[in-house]
Amino acid sequence: MQPIPVDAEVVDFSVGEFGANIIETIEGDVATVNPLVNESVGGSLVIGRILDSLVTMDPKTGEVIPNLAKSWEISEDNLQYTFHLRKGVHWSDGEPFTAEDVVFTWQTFFAKQSDPETGEVMTGEDGRPLYRYNSRSTFGQQINGQEPQVEMLDDFTVRFTTPEVYAPFLLFGGGVDILPKHILYDAYEDGTLMDQWSLQTAIDEPWKIVGLNMFVLETYRPGERMVFARNPNYWKVNTQGERLPYVDRVISKIVPDGNSSNVAFAQGQTDFESIGPDNVAWVRRGEERFDYTVLDMGPSSSTNFIWFNLNPGKNAEGEPFVAPYKFDWFSDKRFRQAISYGINREGIIRGVFFNRADILNGYVSPKRKFWYNDEVRKYPYQVERSRALFQEMGFEYRGQELFDAEGRRVEFTLITNSNNGLRVEMATVFKENMAAIGVDVELQFLDFNTIVTKISDAFDYEACMLGLGGGAPDPYAGKDILMSGGRMHFWYPQQQSPATEWEARIDELMREVGRHTEVEVRKEYFNEVQAILAEQQPFIFLVSAKEYAGYRNRWRNVEPTPLGGVTWNLESLWSEVSE
């Protein structure tokens, strides 16, 4: 065990007792512990227990706060970020943590493939360099295709230079998990970096997985559980100068899905749990018997929405993706607005979610209070207004059925994924709502892969209902959804140039959101993005489900926050040790 760091962070929670264990569940087997390879949520959770970053997000306010970097300066031209690292911090195996580790981490992202004979950097067909290790950061940390530069000023100072002003860098770049150079350098050199820290390592040699966060991996049993032990060299202490965390171990049982996870918690088998709105009622029934508490954490960051296929392109056989007359309907904003007025969101909340959801008016969930713009156009349930809009477009009602100006029945097919029960129910309510305004909707429930293939590759669908979860802490993370060239610009992805003026305007605004560092300025631009989306309704937003979290009452220092959940202060949680 190394001495407590000079720059140890003192955590201001009541002093507790050491030695308890936490039992929890992970949904689905974790695929790897290597952050360069990981693509799954479960994997991120596990890696986040072991590895740590320079900065982090305040779970109460959402601001960027110091972590392994105790402070930083941003140059006047907003291009240079100088981070001052905490001194005296050690890796879990006892080696000192220095700026070299930070530089090494970034080096792995942008290492190029070079020709073994000439030593020149190899390039792909598009003329861009080929990377040795293709990780999420390799491309995700580039700024408009350019790499930020990193240099070490001294052992505890690192300077990053971004190629242009890029506001999210502090959070995105500073939030990168730092890798131990002393462990991984050889693998980096010999080209086996991506194979390191696999599950086989986790089984055979878990001690090789070295980190700076509060836990290290102790054992991994495939399909059963991962056990984390406290990192003996962790850099946070309590107010009495004792090294945290209080718990000895975290035992994460691997379960197939969220329902099994909720069952385990409801039977008193686990300590902490996040609970879906559809399960909360029966989980609450065990509160007294198993001595736990279920909390309403307010709105989640998830969003649910419907959109129409606005892709004007043709498939390989030369057939348009969407029948031309339907394309004309869908691309008229009045049509989308009329649909939006015709949706009874209150009804969905009552009937599907039993009041455990909120109306969603715009792109941002009310959870992200800071970026949420409430001043956007809203679409309350107004059947008359919906009908009026259709009539304005030249549509007419024959009896209860709606026909367009050429006498074609207004009907379309909505697809959604069959394995999400709540979504299937929402789609059913939507169909009924649409019938009330004369529109005939056919529902198709498909498996998730089919849906993704249809909306991102084949484009043979008319309308789709999906949701986004997680919720990005910075609005710029949504650029792939909001910008017209984005891969996830759902209604018409990967446009060569913006198809409409309003999409061009969103592109412009989003570039500004990325380019400015003053929060108020960014907010103004992003507010306009939200206003355009609300006016144009390319996404017809439905509801945002609420979040629930449970914890066993034996735990102390539990201070849940909407952004951080129940376990954000895991290092300070403690429980009396029974026995």
Partner 1 sequence: MIAFILRRLLTLIPLLLGITLLVFLLMSLAPGDFLTPVRAQRDVPAELIQAIQTEFGLDQPWYVQYYKWLGNVLQGNLGHSWAFKVPVADLIGQRIWATFLLSLCAFVFSWAIAIPLGVLAAVYKDSIFDRVSAVLAYAALSIPEFFLALGLVFFAAQTGWFPLGGATSIDYDYLSFGGKMLDRAHHLVLPTLALGIGSIASIMRIMRANFLDSMRAGFVATARAKGLRERVVMFKHVLRNAINPLVSAFGFAFSSLLSGALMVEIVLQYPGLGQLMYQSILREDQFVVLASVMLGCSMLVLGNLLADILLAWSDPRIRLERKK
Interface contacts to partner 1, rule CB under 8 A: 23, 29, 31-32, 34, 37, 39, 131, 134-136, 138-140, 194-195, 198-200, 203, 219, 221-225, 227, 251, 253-256, 260, 263-264, 267, 447-450, 452-453, 456, 468, 470, 472, 477-478, 480-481, 487-488
Output 15 or 452, the one with its CB closest to partner 1: 452
The minimum distance between CB 136 and partner 1, in angstroms, equals 6
| CA torsion through residues 182, 184, 188, 192, sign | positive
CA atoms of 46 and 306, how far apart (whole Å): 33
The closest alpha carbon to 277, from 378, 386, 357, belongs to 357
CA atoms of 310 and 332, how far apart (whole Å): 10
Output 136 or 314, the one with its CB closest to partner 1: 136
The minimum distance between CB 200 and partner 1, in angstroms, equals 5
The minimum distance between CB 222 and partner 1, in angstroms, equals 4
Using alpha carbons, list the distances in angstroms from residue 263 to 46, 273, 325.
21, 10, 49
Output 139 or 354, the one with its CB closest to partner 1: 139
Q: Are 575 and 554 in contact (CB under 8 A)?
A: yes
HEC assignment per residue over 114-150: ECCCCCCECECCCCCECECCCCHHHHHCCECCECCEE
The minimum distance between CB 96 and partner 1, in angstroms, equals 30
Across the beta sheet with 249-255, the strand order is 21-27, 249-255, 225-230, 215-221
CA atoms of 167 and 307, how far apart (whole Å): 30
Give me the phi and psi of 34, to 5 degrees please: -90, 115
| CA torsion through residues 125, 131, 134, 140, sign | negative
Output 25 or 213, the one with its CB closest to partner 1: 25
HEC assignment per residue over 146-194: ECCEEEEEECCEEEEECCCCCCCHHHHCCCCECCCHHHHHHHHHHCCHH
The minimum distance between CB 544 and partner 1, in angstroms, equals 16
Interhelix angle 519-536/501-515, rounded to 10 degrees, is 160
Output 268 or 380, the one with its CB closest to partner 1: 268
What is the residue type of 427? A
Q: Tell me how many degrees the CA angle 428-461-455 measures, rounded to the nearest 5.
A: 100
